[in-house]
Amino acid sequence: MKRQLLGLSVLAAVMAQPVSAVTLYGKANVSLQHADEAGNREIELQSNSSRIGLMGSESISDSFEVVYRLEYETSVDDGDKDGQTLTQRNIYLGLQTDYGTVLGGVFDTPLKTSASGIDLFNDLEGDIKNIFAGEIRSKNIVQYVTPKSFGPVTAKVAYITKEIDGIDGVSSSVAYKTEDLYLALAFDNDVEESGSNTDTYRIIGAFNIGPVQLGGAYESYEREADDGDGYFGSVKWKITDKWIFKTQYGQSDIKVNGRESFSIGGDYKFSKITKAYAYFTQNDDDAGRDDDYLGVGMEIKF
């Protein structure tokens, strides 16, 4: 009994010490879909990049703040992600100042994050990664982000060391964002892990007309003697506070000649953090591949 009381006293003393605020966050996103992939049909339960993470900061002076994030993906459908219960997503440690923020770790490149606002079927079968290159979460990345004092303009520059001589990469973006308008330019050089001599250019735009958001992107990809380009467009219509209609279409020769992706669907919002959704996606290409997906799902964010 004395040992138990001693243990409780120590725990209470530790909990009483001042600590920085830590935010626990994440999302669970699960869908049941009928997949027709090249004629093979099956019913699938999907865990669409469900995740859990911790983030926070520690003020070390009036002008300097240490920031961090530890984020992991978990598979809600079968509990297994590449043979593990949890796999690493965006993880970094950084320093935030009045002159900008420097981050180091494993996280999405500036080019990848530049189009996140127009990809309305992100983490589903209609994800923009099916037609565009550059959707990369890089290892060994150091990134600078301009401060909030720049107003609607945000610039990011990232250096990716492959820890191999001669093929380090650079990713960068500059974006202008207001309540109704978003414009961005992004560029990758030798960011892909598979090799060097690759360049990816991306132009993104989105604007609101009342309850309707129109978005689009153009990408050009060059790798030695191989190159390609493509485009992507999306429409989101907030019909009511509860109902949202969305659709998007993209075409490119970057990954496969004549690759096309079309998606249509809708969301019903139960609250600010919980929604149900339905979708249909068709992905095909000139090689004769024709994949169709029809699904319903639910998502909760916390």
Whether 139 is covered by a domain: the verdict is: no
By residue count, the chain amounts to 302
Whether 144 is covered by a domain: the verdict is: no
Whether 94 is covered by a domain: the verdict is: no
What is the Cα–Cα distance from 138 to 158, expressed in whole angstroms? Answer: 10
| Dihedral sign from CA coordinates of 35, 44, 265, 175 | negative
Q: Exposure pattern of 158-172 as b/e (b: 16+ CB <10 Å)?
A: bbbebeeeebbbebb
What is the Cα–Cα distance from 138 to 144, expressed in whole angstroms? Answer: 15
Under DSSP, the state recorded for 170 is E
Specify the pLDDT at position 166: 62
Contact 108, 231 (CB under 8 A): no
Whether 293 is covered by a domain: the verdict is: yes
Specify the pLDDT at position 19: 54
Domain CATH for 264:
2.40.160.10
Specify the pLDDT at position 77: 87
Task: Domain count for the chain, please give it.
Answer: 1
Specify the pLDDT at position 35: 96
Whether 121 is covered by a domain: the verdict is: yes
Whether 32 is covered by a domain: the verdict is: no
Could you list the residue range(s) of the whole structural domain that residue 198 is in?
114-133+175-302
Distances (CA, A) of 279 to 36, 190, 207, 233, 289: 14, 35, 23, 17, 20
Whether 118 is covered by a domain: the verdict is: yes
Contact 200, 171 (CB under 8 A): no
**113 burial via Cβ count (<10 Å: 0-12, 13-18, 19+):** middle
Tens digit of pLDDT at every position of the chain (302 positions): 444 444 445 444 444 445 567 999 999 999 999 999 988 999 999 999 999 999 999 999 888 999 999 999 999 888 777 778 899 999 999 999 999 999 999 999 999 999 988 999 999 999 999 999 999 999 999 999 999 989 999 999 999 998 776 678 999 999 999 999 999 999 999 898 766 788 999 999 999 999 999 999 999 999 877 789 999 999 999 999 999 999 999 999 998 899 999 999 999 999 999 999 999 999 999 888 899 999 999 999 99
Specify the pLDDT at position 81: 74
Specify the pLDDT at position 194: 66
